[in-house]
Chain A
């Protein structure tokens, strides 16, 4: 079966190349296409024995193919697959448990390289044409600078504790220091041309995710800080919060307390930049939608489902929400339109957490 798929894959890739070459005269320069060009990748964290995987949702077929890295490359992807980021014609898949990033062609998913020298990497973002930043939990929290031409690590920037997502705004890179297994309350601002931290924004406990709205304000989702005793009972917890930050002078425009005892992990923005969505995660399942100019947080979630992660396809605003019932059996992808109607559900891999797409 694997062999067969591979052949088809290659046939399609060859066809794509032929088509691309024959249409060179076009000034439009259409994007190269391949088996995996027209769709969305789903990141499945997996468990320690089975490992993680990537699923692929095809718009054309309205179907999901699972385990595509293994199918194409005939080897496992790695453990705790945290994120996938597309940079140019490549996809960078961060395997947190395997301490590596697999680089593949994003149209064929054929393996190209492996980035090593990392400790508990989380997310990768391109900051210039030749350079990307990788957040990692190891060594007390760092950002590794990767040369995208040779996939080597060329520098290190000390970060706060447990750095998570990155947000690129021209030459300015925001880093959410998520606190890892303890606590941090800062967002770093890095000058990408000098690889230097130029400012530190104080926010709530454990900022994990960021988006920018139509007004150019940066929204920061803070998870809150949950402390446990030796018996794993919660001894103290600080609230989850939303911060709205002016992206020029980095001052706090507004802040909202989400909850004292639930802790969302994901934040998204609608394609028009007028609404944000927050929710999902291990200790918070629902997704809430809010207009960026509202004074109050919404009272009711989008629907009753519990999701582990979600993202928005910024081309049409469809919500890709992911349910992870447990970490031994497969999860489910729900496609939900902006109005909250479920368009379809599909079996994906174990522990799906996102789709590797983020509105810039």
Chain B
């Protein structure tokens, strides 16, 4: 019962976020990760043993400060990013899973929309984010419903003791894309404040070749402009050596015109407005043997969709109130235990539901980790049980192992049971929502091998991971007499491998870096019908990225290429969207004066001028250009 009192308390309290943590076991870093990051969502640090986890390097994040998470992940991750036009609505698909199967957590709070389970990655500016950790594979026991295919962990976390720091980021690009961001940070040894603003507008009226018309003529994309504005305020205060309180407030509004597909000869007229407020507060006490974290969040999202053709306006609003308390303690030198409870109250109001809908979710979670002194071996066992409006869901669990066989070789393995509870749309949409839906559930297994060697100037790392995942009760909309209704009818089997390679040479003035990754994802429908054994739509079988960069003194040049294989658009695999390869080139110059530091970058995107689509008949831009300037002023 004490837990519940604490939950109530923490609504009033403030708190948390990344101190220098106890030295962690280190994220089994992948290509894109160079340095271990101190991520404040501590569960991923300490209890993700055996999961495939990689963090996005800070240098790479700096290059994307004027862009969104969607653009960064599309070029530099093994997640397939579904994009419905440049800068438009975007959702992630990890290991062949659906758009609502990848949890996006910000400072540990799940941002998935309770109505549709999705997160629009175009609405997450990199300038608001300080750390990104990508985790491929299910992790329901650690992160709850929604993390069925994977999770993206984002943190906004500014350090102490930096004095006054001003960062600005500016971009001017093709299609009148204008981005400006201002970050003002101030911190001393006890207090840290970060204020960040951004505004992004784009006409987005790019040219494309319309392959669906009789003359295949070149057209300009119509009704595709967007504008976004956001404000983020973060505050942290150290009460004493062991306690910290923190607060984050994120406001953002955006307006997107929604272009029509190439198949429609008339320009689109639809548009969408989104407005969100995210408030989080936390308190953390770091002891010698134990850490207590209490935190709470209020997440709200409003969106309004207009379709003038049908004189249709839809307004939706969601609210989530989340409170979480977590206690971690070490027993002796080899055992770490975590106990926690999460309380989430979600509401949604939409004209498409019969009145306001809400639900109360309580999850109990625990992890036990055993490790040796040198931290060359560790294993974690985790459990979670979620109770929704007094009805329990099946207990989920995971077991992970990590072993450093040699100092240059690490083996990881993980077994997990995962789940996803139905979204409000699936439960209540119109007359067709199905309130009797059960959670989706699945098992996933993976095994990974990392080889890593650092010499004086060379650094080499190779990771190969094989995975398997079986999902049952997968919810799809199926016809039932004359209406469509969601049902727990699909079985999906996803298996494949992911590999990544890094090779880097660092000399005094010159640094050369080569990265590559390849994914093979076979995701098939295992429902016993005519679609049995067919690849799910929009899951590319093959995907790869590679990049090479050279840094010489203040200058650098980079080339990155990303290949996405054929994606089926019909369930019987008769129709598909062609594979595409994108190449981007960047030329950068550092600015290094005593007062101001920064970087000027010139980029050419889609340098091979390829006509391509990510989603069927939504055109993407041909070759385009951008010039970017980042400035940093620091006064201690």
Instruction: Give chain A's interface residues, CB within 8 Å of chain B.
Output: 49-51, 67, 75-76, 78-79, 95, 97-100, 102, 111, 113-114, 116, 118-120, 138, 181, 228, 230-233, 282-283, 325-330, 350
Bound together, the chains give a CA A164 to CA B211 distance in angstroms of: 30
Bound together, the chains give a CA A113 to CA B531 distance in angstroms of: 36
- In-complex Cβ contact of B530 among A76, A98, A282, A329 (8 A): A329
Contact string against A for B residues 351-383, beta-carbon threshold 8 Å, 1 for contact and 0 otherwise: 111100000000000000000000000000000
On chain A, the residues within 8 Å of B478 by CB distance are: 326
Contact string against A for B residues 205-223, beta-carbon threshold 8 Å, 1 for contact and 0 otherwise: 0000001111010000000
CB of B565, distance to nearest CB on chain A (Å)? 18
- In-complex Cβ contact of B265 among A100, A111, A327 (8 A): A100
- In-complex Cβ contact of A114 among B211, B214, B484, B571 (8 A): B214
A-B contact pairs, 19 of them (CB 8 A): A49-B537, A49-B570, A51-B617, A75-B213, A76-B212, A95-B263, A99-B265, A100-B265, A113-B214, A114-B214, A138-B309, A228-B431, A231-B353, A231-B430, A232-B430, A232-B431, A233-B431, A326-B478, A326-B479
On chain B, the residues within 8 Å of A233 by CB distance are: 354, 431
Bound together, the chains give a CA A188 to CA B571 distance in angstroms of: 42
- In-complex Cβ contact of A75 among B211, B530, B531, B574 (8 A): B211
Contact string against A for B residues 394-420, beta-carbon threshold 8 Å, 1 for contact and 0 otherwise: 000000000000000000000000000
Bound together, the chains give a CA A95 to CA B575 distance in angstroms of: 19
Known contacts A49-B616, A114-B213, A230-B351; A330/B265 CB under 8 A: no
Q: Which residue of A lies closest to B350 (CB)?
A: A230
On chain A, the residues within 8 Å of B309 by CB distance are: 119-120, 138
Q: Are B354 and A78 in contact (CB-based, < 8 A)?
A: no
The answer to whether B569 has its CB under 8 Å from any CB of chain A is yes
On chain A, the residues within 8 Å of B213 by CB distance are: 75, 114
- In-complex Cβ contact of B214 among A79, A97, A99, A111 (8 A): A111
Q: Are B482 and A98 in contact (CB-based, < 8 A)?
A: no
Q: Are A97 and B263 in contact (CB-based, < 8 A)?
A: yes
On chain A, the residues within 8 Å of B537 by CB distance are: 49
Q: Are A119 and B263 in contact (CB-based, < 8 A)?
A: no
Known contacts A49-B569, A232-B430; A282/B263 CB under 8 A: no
On chain B, the residues within 8 Å of A116 by CB distance are: 265-266
Contact string against A for B residues 524-551, beta-carbon threshold 8 Å, 1 for contact and 0 otherwise: 0000001100000100000000000000
Contact string against A for B residues 294-309, beta-carbon threshold 8 Å, 1 for contact and 0 otherwise: 0000000000000001
CB of A122, distance to nearest CB on chain B (Å)? 14
Known contacts A98-B265, A283-B482, A329-B530; A50/B214 CB under 8 A: no
Q: Are B482 and A282 in contact (CB-based, < 8 A)?
A: yes
Q: Are B572 and A97 in contact (CB-based, < 8 A)?
A: no
On chain A, the residues within 8 Å of B354 by CB distance are: 230-231, 233
Bound together, the chains give a CA A147 to CA B570 distance in angstroms of: 37
On chain B, the residues within 8 Å of A95 by CB distance are: 263
On chain B, the residues within 8 Å of A79 by CB distance are: 261, 263-264
Contact string against A for B residues 326-356, beta-carbon threshold 8 Å, 1 for contact and 0 otherwise: 0000000000000000000000000111100
CB of A48, distance to nearest CB on chain B (Å)? 8
Q: Are B570 and A50 in contact (CB-based, < 8 A)?
A: yes
Within 8 A of A (CB), among B419-459: 430-432
Bound together, the chains give a CA A119 to CA B484 distance in angstroms of: 26
Q: Are A76 and B430 in contact (CB-based, < 8 A)?
A: no
Q: Are A76 and B351 in contact (CB-based, < 8 A)?
A: no
Within 8 A of A (CB), among B246-299: 261, 263-266
Bound together, the chains give a CA A119 to CA B308 distance in angstroms of: 12
On chain A, the residues within 8 Å of B482 by CB distance are: 282-283
- In-complex Cβ contact of A119 among B212, B216, B266, B430 (8 A): B266
Bound together, the chains give a CA A119 to CA B478 distance in angstroms of: 29
On chain A, the residues within 8 Å of B266 by CB distance are: 99, 116, 118-119
Known: A49-B616, A326-B478. 19 other contacts (CB 8 A): A50-B569, A50-B570, A50-B616, A76-B212, A78-B212, A79-B261, A97-B263, A114-B213, A119-B309, A181-B310, A228-B431, A231-B353, A231-B431, A233-B354, A325-B479, A326-B479, A326-B484, A329-B571, A329-B572
Q: Are A75 and B569 in contact (CB-based, < 8 A)?
A: no
Bound together, the chains give a CA A95 to CA B478 distance in angstroms of: 24
Q: Are B263 and A78 in contact (CB-based, < 8 A)?
A: yes
Q: Which residue of B lies closest to A324 (CB)?
A: B479
How would you classify the secondary structure of chain B's contact residues: helix, strand, loop or mixed?
Answer: loop
On chain A, the residues within 8 Å of B353 by CB distance are: 231
CB of A279, distance to nearest CB on chain B (Å)? 14
On chain A, the residues within 8 Å of B531 by CB distance are: 329
CB of B266, distance to nearest CB on chain A (Å)? 4
On chain A, the residues within 8 Å of B310 by CB distance are: 181
Q: Which residue of B lies closest to A325 (CB)?
A: B479
CB of B313, distance to nearest CB on chain A (Å)? 13
CB of A355, distance to nearest CB on chain B (Å)? 21
On chain B, the residues within 8 Å of A97 by CB distance are: 263-264
CB of B175, distance to nearest CB on chain A (Å)? 25
Q: Which residue of B lies closest to A283 (CB)?
A: B482
CB of A250, distance to nearest CB on chain B (Å)? 32
On chain B, the residues within 8 Å of A67 by CB distance are: 574
On chain A, the residues within 8 Å of B212 by CB distance are: 75-76, 78
Bound together, the chains give a CA A118 to CA B309 distance in angstroms of: 12
Q: Are B264 and A99 in contact (CB-based, < 8 A)?
A: yes
On chain B, the residues within 8 Å of A114 by CB distance are: 213-214, 265
Bound together, the chains give a CA A120 to CA B264 distance in angstroms of: 10
Within 8 A of A (CB), among B597-617: 615-617
Bound together, the chains give a CA A97 to CA B263 distance in angstroms of: 8
Contact string against A for B residues 547-575, beta-carbon threshold 8 Å, 1 for contact and 0 otherwise: 00000000000000000000001111011
Q: Are B264 and A98 in contact (CB-based, < 8 A)?
A: yes
Known contacts A111-B214, A181-B310, A232-B430; A98/B263 CB under 8 A: yes
Bound together, the chains give a CA A116 to CA B267 distance in angstroms of: 12
On chain B, the residues within 8 Å of A75 by CB distance are: 211-214, 216
- In-complex Cβ contact of A76 among B431, B479, B571, B617 (8 A): B617
Known contacts A282-B482, A329-B571; A51/B263 CB under 8 A: yes
CB of A230, distance to nearest CB on chain B (Å)? 6
4 tightest Cβ-Cβ pairs between the two chains A and B: A232-B431, A231-B354, A232-B430, A326-B479
Known contacts A113-B214, A232-B432; A328/B617 CB under 8 A: no
On chain A, the residues within 8 Å of B216 by CB distance are: 75
Q: Which residue of A lies closest to B480 (CB)?
A: A326
Bound together, the chains give a CA A329 to CA B571 distance in angstroms of: 7
Q: Quick one: which of B212, B263, B484 has the most chain A CB within 10 A?
A: B263
On chain B, the residues within 8 Å of A113 by CB distance are: 214
CB of B166, distance to nearest CB on chain A (Å)? 46
On chain A, the residues within 8 Å of B263 by CB distance are: 51, 76, 78-79, 95, 97-98
Q: Which residue of B lies closest to A234 (CB)?
A: B431
On chain B, the residues within 8 Å of A118 by CB distance are: 266
On chain A, the residues within 8 Å of B265 by CB distance are: 98-100, 114, 116
On chain A, the residues within 8 Å of B617 by CB distance are: 51, 76
Bound together, the chains give a CA A120 to CA B263 distance in angstroms of: 13
On chain A, the residues within 8 Å of B430 by CB distance are: 231-232
- In-complex Cβ contact of B572 among A76, A326, A330 (8 A): A330
Q: Which residue of A lies closest to B615 (CB)?
A: A49
Q: Which residue of B lies closest to A79 (CB)?
A: B263
On chain A, the residues within 8 Å of B616 by CB distance are: 49-50
Bound together, the chains give a CA A325 to CA B571 distance in angstroms of: 14
Q: Are A328 and B571 in contact (CB-based, < 8 A)?
A: yes
CB of B415, distance to nearest CB on chain A (Å)? 33
Bound together, the chains give a CA A50 to CA B431 distance in angstroms of: 25
CB of B552, distance to nearest CB on chain A (Å)? 47
Bound together, the chains give a CA A24 to CA B266 distance in angstroms of: 44
Q: Quick one: which of A49, A118, A233 has the most chain B CB within 10 A?
A: A49
On chain A, the residues within 8 Å of B530 by CB distance are: 329
Contact string against A for B residues 456-484, beta-carbon threshold 8 Å, 1 for contact and 0 otherwise: 00000000000000000000001100101
Q: Are B575 and A50 in contact (CB-based, < 8 A)?
A: yes
CB of B80, distance to nearest CB on chain A (Å)? 16
On chain A, the residues within 8 Å of B615 by CB distance are: 49
